[in-house]
Amino acid sequence: MYPYDLSKNEKGVALIIALIMLLVLTLIGLSAISTTTHETKIAGNERVYNNAFYAADGGIENFRGRASTGEFIYGVATSGSYSVGIGDATSNVTYQRWKRSEMGIDYAVFRVRSEGVAPNFPTAGRVVIEAIIETAMMTPEGYN
């Protein structure tokens, strides 16, 4: 009926299949590149967050160490703030102190807030850690 039977003419079918396969492989490759780029950004954000977290935690530990020497316990000021560099990050530490007594022992109680700041382009990572630190106020030698 038709002068040209398409079922018997298979010239060019291999080319069409090869082009379709090439298109599918190209789309898979583009998807892999997009996923890799996204995962790289996630890893970078996690690194910045971790730096900020460890800076904030380091600020709390710095305060704890300084308070254990009596630096903030016997001072006149009941609140204050300072900054400490931890690696390439900074920790901004603020504290408030009050006193409580229990069974004849005086305690210095501190509410400490440490904000870790990790610099990064275009934005910086920030993490805040708060802690309550309590220590007995023993009269140091020479202060009687």
Residue whose C-alpha is closest to residue 128's, from 115, 118, 119? 115
Task: Give the C-alpha separation, 83 to 55, whole Å.
Answer: 11
More confident: 61 or 106: 61
β-bridge mates for residue 81, sequence order: 94
Q: What are phi and psi of 90, to 5 degrees?
A: -130, 145
Quick one: tokens of 116?
């870790």
CA 113, CA 79: separation in Å to the nearest integer?
11
> In one letter, which amino acid is 4?
Y
* Across 40-66, average pLDDT: 90
Instruction: Summarize pLDDT for 66-125 with one digit per residue, the tens.
Output: 888 888 887 778 899 999 998 888 999 999 998 888 888 888 899 999 999 888 766 678
End-to-end CA distance of the chain: 120
pLDDT of 78 reads 87
pLDDT-derived band at 29, boundaries 50, 70, 90: very high
Kindly state the tokens that stand for 22: 């090439």
Query: pLDDT value at position 144?
Result: 43
Buried b / exposed e over 77-86, threshold 16 CB at 10 Å, is eeeeeeebeb
Please report the pLDDT score of residue 135 as a whole number.
86
Three-state DSSP state, 34: helix
CA 85 to the chain's CA centroid: 16
Query: Which whole number is the average pLDDT over 6-31?
Result: 87
Longest dimension (CA), the chain: 120
